[in-house]
Amino acid sequence: MAKSVWFDLSVKFNSAHFSTSVFKCGRRWPISLSSWFKEYVHIPMGGSRTKSVRNTFITFACSGMWHGANFTYLIWGLINGLLVYVHKIFSKRAFKLPGIVKIIFTFIVIDFCWIFFRAASFNDAFYVITNSFVNLSFQSLKTVGVERHLWLIAIMMLVFMLTVEWITKEISVIGWWHTTRRRNRIVFLNVLLFLMLFFGVFEHRTFIYFQF
């Protein structure tokens, strides 16, 4: 959208879901915010040169509290700090895991952290964690007010978006746009318009970042 009106914005996300570690994921999502905390919080305290562990935990605690004055945000930040610290320890070991294993493991760990980020309280987060895989079935999913076909659509869209993210990781969309034929651009725009009309949410909603 910004490109269509000749604005060049800095990259905010860079295939974060395909990161092979929590450390790399933090650098890819969100890039602008993580860069700000690195330059104005982590480095002024000494960075990785002096008291690295302390600086890491304080930086991630601040990043958590930046999102809101709630204990769950603080926990979210501290867990991420702990994961980064653990990554630094084990990255020095000799053994290595396949890339796909590291990607899947990182994805699961990051999703676990999001529970605390989204929960209204620690008790809510604990309830979600302890009940996530209890009596799991399509019938139990109906209790949250979502029908089976909507869950299937959500899974299909998740696979689609991950595929798109993987493709854009290897191919520059902007470069493809400028080099491909006109008919390909027309087809792309029509598909994009169809997806917006079919899956778009058009009722009024408050911008999500206004709550932070």
- Give catalytic residues, as residue numbers: 67
Separation CA 103–CA 108 (nearest Å) = 9
Residue 42 class from Cβ within 10 Å (0-12 exposed, 13-18 middle, 19+ buried)? buried
CB contact burial 50-84 (16+ within 10 A = b; e otherwise): eeeeebbbbbbbbbbeebeebebbbbbbbbbbebb
Distance CA 166, CA 15 (A): 7
Nearest Cα to Cα of residue 141 among 81, 149, 173: 149
Distance, CA of 117 to CA of 67 (rounded, Å): 9
Interior CA angle at 15 toward 212 and 173, to 5°? 110
Tokens (6 digits) for 44: 């002024």
